[in-house]
Amino acid sequence: MSPPICFVTVFNHTTNDMSFLNLSETNVCRIALLDKQGKEVKKKPFGKMFGLPFSLLQINEWFARKLNQHNSHVSPFVEIFPNPSGEDILQLDLCGYFSLYDAFEITQDGEYELHLQVRLIQVGKDTSGKFHFPVTWLPEVVVKFTIP
């Protein structure tokens, strides 16, 4: 994986534990890259996978598949624990790592802005026992950087 590498971390500054579906980076993040003129950099096939719509049917199917995988050592859930001290020491590596060169057709050096937004999907049950999946999009984060 070649730099620049994107590493997404979410901090919980509340007093509550929060649990979300443990999805891939492409299902969790929406990304865009702008050049210094403010024009969007074309996405490669991998980059086009980020932030696609994830319907209730798709979420239900993914969740049912994960619950039925008896041999899986990976939980379908990821938990973000509270950080009452306010120090940024408790965090969640939400999306892992991905190379911007794998996601975008970066053809020249220069200044860029990465726009990234995280989608968190929780699991709930109504009184009939039917699952529902509240979706929260966190505020967009913009990171400016230079490729030398």
Question: How many domains does the structure of the chain reveal?
Answer: 1
Other CB atoms within 10 A of residue 103 CB: 25
> Taking the alpha carbons of 122, 51, 13, 4 in that order, is the dihedral positive or negative?
positive
Whether 104 has a pLDDT exceeding 80, the answer reads yes
Whether 21 has a pLDDT exceeding 60, the answer reads yes
Q: What is the DSSP letter of 43?
A: B
Query: What phi, psi does 63 have (nearest 5°)?
Result: -65, -45
Residues 62-86 have pLDDT tens digits of 888 888 876 667 778 877 777 655 5
Range of the structural domain that residue 123 is part of:
5-147
Cα distance between residue 47 and residue 103, in whole Å: 4
Whether 30 has a pLDDT exceeding 90, the answer reads yes
- The answer to whether the pTM exceeds 0.75 is yes
